């Protein structure tokens, strides 16, 4: 009776991975690979469970827990790649939770337990990849499972809301991500946390048959939905690393240019990208990215370029007939005449004095 749903999950996940792999190409490579990795780690968990049920062989607990963590981590990297419109880097910091799990597993195995709560008599049960008996003497590993699950899911939902609120990600892509969360990630997350709750109850010798059945059904039917309704995944494979994001950045850059043309707030010598963000309502990250992409300047140099144009306008209007170049520099938003001269020379290939003399 137990082996059947395990092999059903095995078949479903293999179908999902096969469909993603078949649709994978160079244009969607930067995010689909992470989604394939997400389901591959789920597959490894199911294979481990099926081997345990069939041959009574299984991976060590720390490997199972780490595998579940990496499955969720790759989903986060998938979202991060969508948000950034480029492949998210797999950094060393992402491996730290797994290294902590290995260390704590070793300490618990050695008899060093910080938060002991597991009874001598517990419910024997397999639940979506976790076998309750594996946690005997591994009390702290269980708590780490909960901490890791909460932490990585907070990151995932934060990234989801960033995508949802983004001004440079198209509505079509946002809708595809929303559907993925609605039909897959939210239900599977409910099943995952339900698994941890049931597991905790097993470890204090409490069994809730209804919750166990519901948890297994949610997990199976959520994955089955991806097979029955393939559009949820196929729509993600059509997200390509295209110029759509750059078009969004271009619109933002044009808004910033328009704002600078209509306002002279940049003559404040403390003006920064954060100031632009506050005054335009555009996120600081988008301000920096749009300016860098479409002006080939850093934000400070972009601001200085407008200050120089403002200074030139003042020179043309005869400002230097009554005031010094130092006063002009201060009036234009520069903290010193030296910096003003340097930037003026850099952008116009002549000094302010030379420009004034040429005008005369």
Split at pLDDT 50, 70, 90, the class of 33 is very high
Our measurement of the distance from residue 321's CA atom to the centroid of its chain's CA atoms, rounded to an integer in Å, reads 55
Q: Which tens digit of pLDDT belongs to each residue from 52-77?
A: 777 777 788 888 889 999 999 999 99
Which fold, 244-359?
Arc Repressor Mutant, subunit A (1.10.10)
User: Can you tell me the distance from the alpha carbon of 279 to that of 344, in angstroms, rounded to the nearest whole number?
Assistant: 26
Other C-beta atoms closer than 10 Å to the C-beta of 3 total 11
Q: Who's near 313: CB < 8 A, 6+ residues apart?
A: none
| Confidence at residue 241, expressed as pLDDT on a 0 to 100 scale | 61
What is the enclosing helix (H) or strand (E) of 38?
helix 29-55
| Confidence at residue 148, expressed as pLDDT on a 0 to 100 scale | 92
* 325 Rama sector, left if φ>0, alpha if ψ -120 to 50, beta otherwise: alpha
Contacts of range 165-169, beta carbons closer than 8 Å, 24 or more positions apart: 166/83, 167/248, 167/251, 167/252, 167/282, 167/283, 167/286, 168/245, 168/248, 168/249, 168/252, 168/286, 169/82, 169/83, 169/245, 169/248
User: Can you tell me the distance from the alpha carbon of 88 to that of 80, in angstroms, rounded to the nearest whole number?
Assistant: 6
Split at pLDDT 50, 70, 90, the class of 158 is very high
DSSP letters, 228-276, are HSTHHHHHHHT--S-SHHHHHHHHHHHHHHHHHHH--GGGSTT--HHHH
User: pLDDT > 90: what percent of the chain?
Assistant: 37
Q: Which tens digit of pLDDT belongs to each residue from 103-137?
A: 999 999 998 999 888 877 787 777 767 788 888 88
User: Can you tell me the distance from the alpha carbon of 343 to that of 349, in angstroms, rounded to the nearest whole number?
Assistant: 9
User: Can you tell me the distance from the alpha carbon of 6 to that of 11, in angstroms, rounded to the nearest whole number?
Assistant: 9
Mean pLDDT (the chain) is 87
Question: How is residue 120 annotated by DSSP?
Answer: S
Other C-beta atoms closer than 10 Å to the C-beta of 286 total 21
Q: Which tens digit of pLDDT belongs to each residue from 240-285?
A: 765 445 667 788 888 999 999 888 899 998 999 999 989 988 878 7
Does the fold of domain 244-359 match that of domain 3-237? no
CATH 1.10.287 holds for 3-237: no
Query: Mean pLDDT throughout 12-17?
Result: 92
Query: Mean pLDDT throughout 216-236?
Result: 88
| Confidence at residue 153, expressed as pLDDT on a 0 to 100 scale | 95
Query: Mean pLDDT throughout 330-342?
Result: 91
Domain boundaries, the chain: 3-237, 244-359
């Amino acid at each position: 009776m137990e082996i059947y749903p395990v092999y059903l999950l095995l078949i479903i996940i293999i179908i999902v991975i096969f469909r993603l792999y078949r649709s994978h190409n160079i244009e969607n490579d930067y995010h689909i690979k992470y989604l394939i990795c997400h389901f591959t780690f789920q597959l490894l968990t199911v294979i481990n469970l099926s081997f345990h049920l069939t041959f009574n062989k299984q991976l060590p607990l720390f490997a199972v827990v780490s595998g579940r963590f990496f499955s969720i981590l790759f989903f986060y990297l998938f979202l991060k790649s969508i948000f950034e419109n480029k492949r998210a880097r797999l950094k060393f910091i992402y491996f730290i939770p797994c290294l902590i799990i290995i260390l704590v597993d070793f300490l618990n195995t050695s008899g060093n337990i910080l938060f002991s709560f597991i009874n001598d008599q517990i419910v024997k049960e397999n639940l979506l990849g976790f076998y309750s008996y594996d946690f005997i003497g591994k009390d702290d590993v269980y708590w780490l499972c909960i901490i890791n699950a909460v932490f990585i899911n907070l990151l995932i939902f934060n990234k989801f809301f960033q995508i949802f609120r983004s001004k440079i990600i198209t509505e079509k892509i946002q809708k595809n991500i929303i559907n993925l969360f609605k039909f897959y990630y939210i239900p599977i997350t409910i099943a995952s946390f339900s698994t941890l709750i049931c597991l905790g109850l097993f470890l204090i010798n409490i069994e809730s048959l209804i919750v166990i059945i519901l948890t297994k059904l949610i997990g199976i039917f959520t994955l089955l939905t991806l097979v029955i309704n393939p559009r949820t995944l196929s729509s993600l494979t059509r997200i390509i690393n295209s110029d759509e994001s750059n078009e969004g950045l271009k619109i933002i850059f044009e808004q910033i240019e328009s704002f600078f043309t209509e306002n002279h707030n940049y003559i404040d010598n403390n003006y920064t990208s954060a100031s632009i963000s506050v005054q335009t309502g555009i996120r600081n990250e988008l301000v920096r990215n749009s300016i860098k992409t479409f002006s080939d300047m850093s934000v400070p140099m972009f601001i200085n370029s407008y200050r120089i144009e403002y200074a030139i306008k003042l020179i043309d209007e005869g400002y230097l007939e009554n005031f010094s170049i130092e006063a002009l520099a201060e009036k234009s938003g520069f903290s010193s005449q030296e910096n003003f001269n340097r930037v003026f020379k850099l952008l116009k290939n002549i000094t302010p004095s030379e420009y004034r003399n040429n005008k005369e």
